[in-house]
Amino acid sequence: MNPSVMLYTADQIKQRLNRAHLLLKSPLFDPKSLDDNSWKVAFAELIMVSDDLLRQSSELGHRIDFYEGVGVTGKIQDITSLVEWMRACLPKSVADLSVQLTTQRLNRYFDQGTGYFANGYFFTGEFDGELALFIDDQRIYLKRQLGRAIEEAEPFLV
């Protein structure tokens, strides 16, 4: 076990799991939601909570390591490393999100398609009915990846 990684109590894990489930169902991630940037804070918080849960699962000997749809570019090997990389791009705490969030780095795209975001990053969304969330050029799908990762980690955490 890596001593630098904090292990959470059962209550802390339960709180994070509840928060992750709540965020995954947030109307801010609905295709019809207004793009008023409030989804960016929810996305950043979801990444932070997911990172805590995936780290805890890894520390307990159960790394969530699927790689379907994960853009493997050397630094990102699986879903856990993608979430870890995305968290490293964000402020250190949830309290800092609304103040310090660099919004030009975050984008989203619903359904299937390709193009360029206003910040110049090329994107691809591979699935109809799915929300692709981006930090720079790194993509993560809300249901297929974040939802699945939480679902796979949960049995090891409760």
Each residue's pLDDT tens digit, 76-87: 789 999 999 999
pLDDT at residue number 93: 73
* DSSP code string of 60-109: TT------TT---SSS--SHHHHHHHHHHTS-SSGGGHHHH--GGGEEEE
pLDDT at residue number 35: 78
pLDDT at residue number 155: 97
pLDDT at residue number 103: 64
72: which strand partners? none
Q: What is the pTM of this model?
A: 0.90
Supply the DSSP symbol for 147.
I
Point out the residues of the chain with pLDDT beneath 70: 1-6, 71-75, 95, 97-103
Q: Which two tokens stand for residue 77?
A: 């090997």
pLDDT at residue number 69: 80
Q: What CA–CA distance (Å, rounded) separates 59 from 45?
A: 21
pLDDT at residue number 1: 43
